[in-house]
């Protein structure tokens, strides 16, 4: 009886404590002492597709997860990938993370994360499987649309507020996929060989920022291998770096089916195993979940004394810590779903992320009062982009198509529409050809276009298999379904021609000289059509900047320059031969002109950057450079630009990129308005990772600061020195 009373008092104090605090650790240790070995092991693996078991007798709840990172995924069946068929699991579809990255706006990233966290909380999810911060290495990666671009600083600056926004709702963000999951082809087994310098300088920083600055509560391990060990149970990645160097106190979760060995899973930092061998088809005399690597096989090794019990205790401690922060946090809110505020945030992110790539003769914006007839051509004008794409699929409460957005914006004009091309159904894991005749669609589009004063072509990619989709990479760099030929024909018909690209990736543009206006529109979520119309009409002045480089040809990309062993590998191993020279670092250093540069993005107004200077010319370690700049909107409409600060080091003892992004600031100005901004840059952030000492080093000597509005649009260079 005394035991039962003390247990009841302990649980009362646990739930009354409200949320996780340092004092909670003692309560967690007490609770661990009450758990049997079998109960501890059961907490370390799944019981269904998206949940892990609690302990009923002690009042420990189940832990429920949902895919993200652009919205809360519709409910999935207990043990299959089929939709559960609920009628109350509609969500707000937020723009894809490439769009969020293109905003260059950390404040907006927080709003995005907070709204998404509210929706996850309302759906009673404890862990949201996002955001993704894998580096954009190749434009063929089918999952690039879920990530935050090619630059580690940009991804770091945007992931932190996203995490804080989500977790403020008592929902754990789960940053993924840790690490080097930069392609979908052979992702389940490919072994990545990479230098320590490239690992630390390019591929780890956003994860490190998520842990140290964002204080993220969970991390998802990647499918692939790193130096011969699978990432989800990798001794160096998990034990040495994540939990050692960075002091991560949360839970490491596998990607679904990414565990491969019991002993390594136990000893090399994995805490929660999900998705192993459960494809909905598994049949056995006993529950298949009992045979996960961290299930019965783990229990047997613990019972035999081959693995110390403290190993499972540490895993359970991390799981309970996550519960205190989420489902056992009694001060958490109730969340909100599909609110007007969420729609407004989705639209704000979408409009701020759209990038005006080209605008000859200021063809855009269009006047809603004088434009008479618009031909909207392209399947993507009406195709749903919230479904498909793999695990980031959404069941949106609504989705405004580009065609509807344009129709509503130009209510007094005649809007014509023709598909022009067709791609077939959106399926994951299979390419289904269309049953529509391509020649007929092509001819109909041409005839429709001839009747209009202005042509808007809305094409690009979609979220079908082997395009922007999980599970496979793109097969070619160019546009599919004969779009290139159609674009050339339409551009020749009418000089009043605007191209809207819906994609999460760069594409080849053989027609670039013939097309006067190009918008990069991403996957924009529920408010897609309204956001595109806002930009076309000038209701919103475009301010998005590219978060990755568009190469002219695929071989201009660094990963592809070095041949198949660099990408995609030989199916067993691949070697990141470009090392640190990813994206614009490669183009700048090797003097390879891009189609569109990192940071590029035009506006309907003009900005002037003047009075650019650093507070001094000589610096020491631990100093801060205060870079100042006066920004003036010299045009006739309000707008925003992003001042970007890059730093380069000549005569280095190691190979360096010509310049690297070290700071940025987005600024909004009325016509004629000027503001002086200041961007701080730590001298310590100019360090390179020195492999000979396995640590960071700031070199003495001369550096150059580059200030501008894109990596290829530099207004001023400033020489400084570091002692």
Q: What is the pLDDT of residues 487-497, one digit of tens each?
A: 999 999 999 99
Confidence category of residue 286, pLDDT binned at 50, 70, 90: low
Cα separation, 481 vs 404, in Å, equals: 23
Predicted confidence band at 19 (pLDDT cuts at 50, 70, 90)? low
pLDDT tens digits for range 302-317:
999 999 999 999 999 9
Proportion of the chain above pLDDT 70, given as a percent: 96
Is residue 1 predicted with pLDDT exceeding 60? no
282 Cβ neighbours under 8 A, 6+ residues apart: 79, 288
Q: Is residue 587 part of a domain?
A: no
State residue 425's pLDDT score. 85
Domain end: 522, 548, 574, which one?
Answer: 548
Which of the following is catalytic: 255, 271, 556, 588?
Answer: 255
Judge whether residue 228 has pLDDT over 60: yes
Q: Can you spell out the DSSP letters for 368-393?
A: TTT--EEEEESGGGTS-SSS-SSTT-
Q: Are residues 198 and 254 in the same domain?
A: yes
How confident is residue 287, by pLDDT bands cut at 50, 70 and 90?
Answer: low
pLDDT tens across 679-716, in order?
999 999 999 999 999 999 999 999 999 999 999 999 99
The pTM of the full predicted model, rounded to 2 decimals, is 0.96
pLDDT at 10: 47
In a domain, 238, yes or no: yes
**116-129 mean pLDDT:** 98
* Mean pLDDT across 589-599: 98
Beta strands in 239-296 (DSSP E): 251-254
Domain boundary among 523, 548, 573: 548
Does residue 573 fall inside a structural domain? no
Statement: residue 16 has pLDDT above 70? no
Residue 96: its pLDDT value, please?
Answer: 98
- In-domain check, residue 343: no
Claim to verify: residue 131 and residue 213 sit in the same structural domain: yes
% of the chain beyond a pLDDT of 90: 92
Lowest-confidence segment of 127-136, 329-338, 544-553, 595-604 by average pLDDT: 329-338
pLDDT of residue 21: 79
Average pLDDT, rounded, for the chain:
95
From 12-26, 235-249, 258-272, 373-387, the region with the lowest mean pLDDT: 12-26
* C-alpha–C-alpha distance, residues 575 and 236, integer Å: 18
Confidence of residue 80 (pLDDT cuts 50, 70, 90): confident
Please check whether residues 245 and 212 belong to one and the same domain.
yes
**Residues 618, 543 share a domain:** no
Q: What mean pLDDT is predicted for residues 466-472?
A: 96
**The pLDDT of residue 447:** 98
The answer to whether residue 333 sits within a structural domain is no
> What distance separates the 2 farthest-apart alpha carbons in the chain?
88
Residue 46, in any domain of the structure: yes
Mean pLDDT of all residues in 168-189: 98
Are the beta carbons of 459 and 421 closer than 8 angstroms? yes
**Helical residues (DSSP H) of 494-542, grouped into ranges:** 528-537
**Mean pLDDT (whole number) for 527-544:** 98
Which candidate, 413, 421, 485, places its Cα nearest to that of 458? Answer: 421
What CATH number corresponds to the domain at position 489?
3.40.50.1700
Domain boundary among 505, 532, 548: 548
**308 within 8 A of 145, measured Cβ to Cβ:** no
State whether 321 and 355 are in the same domain: no
How far apart are the C-alpha atoms of 269 and 250, rounded to whole Å? 11
pLDDT, position 587 = 98
Rounded distance between C-alpha atoms, residue 719 and residue 708, angstroms? 15
Can you give the pLDDT at residue 320?
97
Query: Do 300 and 385 belong to one domain?
Result: no
pLDDT surpassing 90 at residue 23: no
Name which of 23-27, 254-258, 374-378, 481-485 the model is least confident about. Answer: 23-27
Q: Is residue 334 part of a domain?
A: no
Q: What is the mean pLDDT of residues 72-78?
A: 95
Higher pLDDT residue, 1 or 167?
Answer: 167
Backbone angles phi, psi at 113, to 5 degrees: -60, -40
The neighbouring-strand residues paired with 665 are 643
Could you give the CA distance from residue 357 to residue 511 in angstroms, rounded to a whole number?
Answer: 14
How does pLDDT run across 496-505, given as a tens digit for each residue? 999 999 999 9
pLDDT at 633: 98
Q: Are 147 and 278 part of one and the same domain?
A: yes
CA distance 704 to 723: 14
In this structure, are 206 and 289 located in the same domain?
Answer: yes
The boundaries of the domain holding residue 683 are 607-722
- 18-32, 256-270, 562-576: range with lowest mean pLDDT: 18-32
pLDDT at position 278 is 58
Mean pLDDT of 29-44: 97
The answer to whether residues 307 and 425 belong to one domain is no
Torsion of CA 545, 547, 553, 559, to 10 degrees: 160
pLDDT of residue 4 exceeding 60: no
**Residues 70 and 161 reside in one and the same domain:** yes
DSSP one-letter string for 73-93: PPPB-TTSSSB---SS--B--
365 and 226 belong to one structural domain: no
Task: State the CATH number of the domain containing residue 696.
Answer: 2.60.40.10
pLDDT band of 668, cuts 50, 70, 90: very high
Structural domains of the chain, count: 3
Q: Is 255 a catalytic site residue?
A: yes
* Spatial distance between the Cα atoms of 148 and 108, rounded to a whole number of angstroms: 14
What is the token pair recorded at 178?
């840790």
321 and 354 inside one domain? no
Alpha-carbon torsion, ordered 479, 477, 190, 198, to 10 deg? -130
């Amino acid at each position: 009886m005394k035991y039962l009373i003390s247990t009841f008092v302990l649980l009362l104090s646990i739930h009354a404590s409200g949320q996780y605090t340092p004092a909670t650790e003692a309560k967690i240790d007490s609770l661990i002492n009450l758990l049997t070995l079998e109960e501890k092991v059961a907490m370390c693996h799944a019981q269904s597709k998206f949940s892990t078991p609690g302990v009923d007798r002690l009042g420990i709840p189940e832990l429920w997860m949902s895919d993200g990172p652009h919205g809360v995924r519709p409910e999935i069946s207990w043990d299959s990938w089929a939709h559960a068929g609920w009628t109350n699991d509609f969500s707000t579809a937020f723009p894809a993370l490439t769009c969020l990255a293109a905003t260059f706006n950390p404040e907006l990233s927080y709003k995005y994360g907070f709204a998404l966290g509210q929706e996850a909380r309302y759906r009673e999810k404890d862990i949201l499987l996002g955001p993704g911060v894998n580096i954009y290495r190749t434009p063929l990666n089918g999952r690039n649309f879920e990530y935050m671009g090619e630059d580690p600083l940009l991804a770091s600056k945007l992931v932190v507020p996203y995490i804080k926004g989500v977790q403020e709702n008592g929902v754990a963000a789960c940053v993924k996929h840790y690490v080097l999951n930069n392609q979908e082809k052979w992702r389940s087994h490919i072994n990545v060989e990479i230098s320590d310098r490239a690992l630390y300088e390019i591929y780890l920083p956003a994860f490190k920022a998520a842990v140290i600055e964002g204080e993220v509560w969970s991390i998802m391990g990647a499918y692939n291998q790193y130096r011969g060990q699978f990432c989800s149970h990798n001794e160096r990645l998990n034990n040495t770096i994540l939990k050692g160097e960075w002091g991560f106190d949360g839970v490491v979760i596998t990607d679904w089916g990414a565990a491969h060995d019991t002993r390594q899973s136990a000893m090399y930092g994995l805490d929660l195993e999900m998705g192993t061998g459960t494809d909905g088809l598994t049949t056995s005399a006993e529950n298949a979940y009992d045979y996960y690597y961290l299930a019965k096989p783990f229990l047997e090794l613990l019972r035999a004394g081959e693995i110390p019990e403290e190993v499972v205790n540490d895993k359970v401690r991390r799981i309970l810590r996550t519960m205190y922060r989420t489902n056992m946090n009694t001060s958490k809110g109730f969340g909100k779903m599909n609110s007007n505020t969420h729609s407004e945030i989705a639209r704000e992110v979408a409009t701020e992320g759209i990038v005006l790539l080209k605008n000859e003769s200021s063809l855009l914006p269009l006047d809603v009062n004088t434009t008479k007839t618009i031909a909207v051509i392209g399947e993507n004008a009406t195709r749903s982009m919230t479904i498909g794409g793999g695990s980031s699929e959404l069941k949106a409460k609504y989705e405004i198509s580009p065609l509807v957005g344009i129709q509503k914006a130009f209510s007094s004009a005649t809007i014509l529409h023709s598909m022009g091309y067709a791609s077939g159904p959106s399926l994951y894991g299979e390419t289904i050809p269309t049953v529509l005749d391509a020649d007929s669609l092509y001819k109909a589009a041409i005839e429709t276009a001839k009747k209009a004063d202005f042509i808007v072509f809305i094409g690009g990619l979609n979220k079908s298999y082997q395009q922007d989709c999980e599970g496979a990479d793109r097969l070619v760099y160019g546009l599919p379904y004969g779009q290139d030929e159609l674009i050339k024909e339409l551009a020749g018909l009418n000089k009043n021609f605007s191209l809207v690209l819906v994609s999460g990736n760069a594409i080849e543009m053989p027609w670039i000289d013939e097309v006067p206006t190009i918008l990069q529109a991403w996957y924009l979520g529920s408010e897609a059509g309204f956001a595109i119309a806002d930009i076309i009409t000038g209701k919103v002045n475009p301010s998005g900047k590219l978060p990755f480089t568009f190469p002219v040809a695929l071989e201009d990309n660094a990963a592809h320059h070095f041949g198949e062993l660099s990408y995609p590998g030989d199916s067993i191993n691949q070697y990141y031969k470009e090392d640190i020279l990813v994206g614009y670092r490669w183009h700048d250093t090797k003097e390879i002109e891009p189609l569109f540069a990192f940071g590029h993005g035009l506006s309907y107004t003009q900005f002037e950057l003047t009075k650019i200077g650093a507070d001094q010319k000589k610096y020491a370690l631990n100093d801060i450079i205060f870079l100042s700049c006066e920004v003036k909107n010299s045009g006739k409409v309000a707008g925003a630009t992003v001042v970007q600060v890059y730093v380069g080091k000549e005569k280095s003892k190691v190979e360096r990129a010509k310049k690297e992004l070290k700071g940025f600031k987005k600024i909004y100005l009325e016509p004629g308005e000027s503001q002086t901004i200041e961007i701080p840059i730590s001298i310590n952030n100019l360090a390179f990772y020195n492999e000979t000492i396995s640590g960071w080093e700031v070199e003495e000597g001369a550096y150059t600061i580059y200030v501008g509005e894109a990596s290829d649009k530099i207004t001023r260079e400033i020489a400084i020195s570091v002692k």
